[in-house]
Amino acid sequence: MITDAVIADRVTKRFGQHVAVNELSLRVPAGVIYGFIGPNGSGKTTTLRMVMRILHPDDGSIQVLGEYHHGAANDRVGYLPEERGLYKTMKVRDLLRFYAALKGSRDSDALIASWLERMGLSDWAMKKVETLSKGMAQKVQFIAAIIAKPELVLLDEPFSGLDPVNAVVLREAILDLKNGGTTVIFSTHDMNVAEKMCDFLFMIHKGVKVLDGTLQSIQEQYGLDTVKVRWDGNGELDRWPGVVKVTDFGQYKELRLERGGDTQKLLQELAARGRVTHFEVAHPTLHDIFVRIAGAAETTHH
């Protein structure tokens, strides 16, 4: 019984002079939803491709489902690439049969039919891929990735191009996979989704790990230093002592306090100078943490 689906040990990948991934180490436990977050160009896709054995690391090693090299284990890994990878002139059902057969899955017709129905695509089984809309194609791509019942699934930006309704369908499918024992790694730059769905998060920036752990453990690193406030008073809050940063969202403001800042004192000050209709003490959101890290890294870089 494998405890870890993926173990990467100081993996480096270069493209010419550019270092896409730099001494990256990570551990993905089996049966979890693992979020890979980071901006474009951070090395997410390169890392996923190395896990898929499409690319090979220049240094370090990656163990996937217990194997160090491309082998039988590859058939137990499903992959949804960032861009659509479907044969335009093939019929949906034939395409899914093809991808299933490639992974060694026989007699996949019943499973194909049930997934198509679940995704609302039963009527499109005999239609050519080129007749599908972007969202439908994405769903077909997803089915192709999981049709051979893989133990590990890599989804690169699975929600891109999906409207809210389809996003819900996909989300539920991913949760079902996890409940069925499949390990799911998905990469996204939508922090909202990552926060809600992932058991573990791994943030990558310029090819380097910057965060690794559960949402809770990550947030605890920063403490309760965010205050959401709705206040009708005047004043430049960012000049107040103890306030590091103010983000104005129109309806409310988000204040970041210094470490160890006194939230009660802040409340009193605000109440003294105006009406407070909302005051919430919270952990920073993942988005906020990300911006802090990416911003800081930019500053250090310059």
Partner 1 sequence: MRKIWVIAVREYLAAVRTKTFVIGLLMMPILMGGSALLQYLFKDMVDVRDKNFVVVDRIGNKGLTDSILQFMDVHNKTLTVDVSTGKQTKPRLVVLAEEPAGTSQDEIDRQRFQLSERVRKGELVGFLEILQNSKSPNQVKLRYQTNRPTFMEFPIIAETTAAEFLRKKTAEKLNIPSESIQALSKPTSLENKGLTNRDEATGAITDSPDQSRFASIIVPMVAMIFMFMLVLMGATPLMQGVVEEKTARIAEVLLGSARPFEIMMGKLLGMVAVTLTVSAVYLSGAIWAAQRFEVAEYITVDFVLWFILFQSLAALMFGSLFIAIGAACTEMRETQNLMWPVMLLACLPMFLIGTVIRDPHGPVVRGFSFFPFATPSLMIGRISAPPGLPLWEPLLAVALVLVTTVFCVYCAGRIFRVGILLQGKGANLKEMFRWVIRG
Binding site for partner 1 (CB under 8 A): 49, 52, 54-55, 70, 74-75, 77, 79, 81, 83-90, 98-99, 101-104, 144
* C-beta of 98 vs 240, nearer to partner 1: 98
Closer of 106 and 302 to partner 1 (Cβ): 106
Do the beta carbons of residue 33 and residue 5 sit within 8 Å? no
* CB closer to partner 1, 88 vs 278: 88
- Please state, as a whole number, how many other Cβ atoms lie within 10 Å of the Cβ of residue 184: 26
Residue 106 CB, nearest approach to partner 1 (Å): 10
Residue closer to partner 1 by CB (options 90, 294) is: 90
E strands, the chain, are: 4-15, 18-29, 33-37, 59-64, 77-80, 152-156, 183-188, 200-205, 208-213, 226-231, 243-248, 253-257, 276-282
Cα 236 to Cα 48: distance, rounded to the nearest angstrom: 45
Q: How many CB atoms lie within 10 A of CB 106?
A: 8
**Residue 11 forms beta bridges with which residues?**
24
* CB nearer to partner 1: pick between 133 and 217: 133
For residues 79 and 124, which CB has a smaller minimum distance to partner 1 in the complex? 79
Q: How far is the CB of 105 from partner 1 (least distance, A)?
A: 11
Strand ordering across the sheet containing 226-231: 243-248, 253-257, 226-231, 276-282
Least distance from C-beta 118 to partner 1, angstroms? Answer: 21
Query: Closest distance between partner 1 and the C-beta of residue 103, in Å?
Result: 6
Could you give the CA distance from residue 291 to residue 296 in angstroms, rounded to a whole number? 8
* Least distance between partner 1 and beta carbon 29 (Å): 22
Q: Which is nearer to partner 1, 45 or 226 (CB)?
A: 45
Rounded Cα distance between 142 and 5, Å, is 20
Nearest distance from residue 81's CB to partner 1, in Å? 5
- The answer to whether residues 49 and 55 touch, using CB atoms and an 8 Å cutoff, is yes
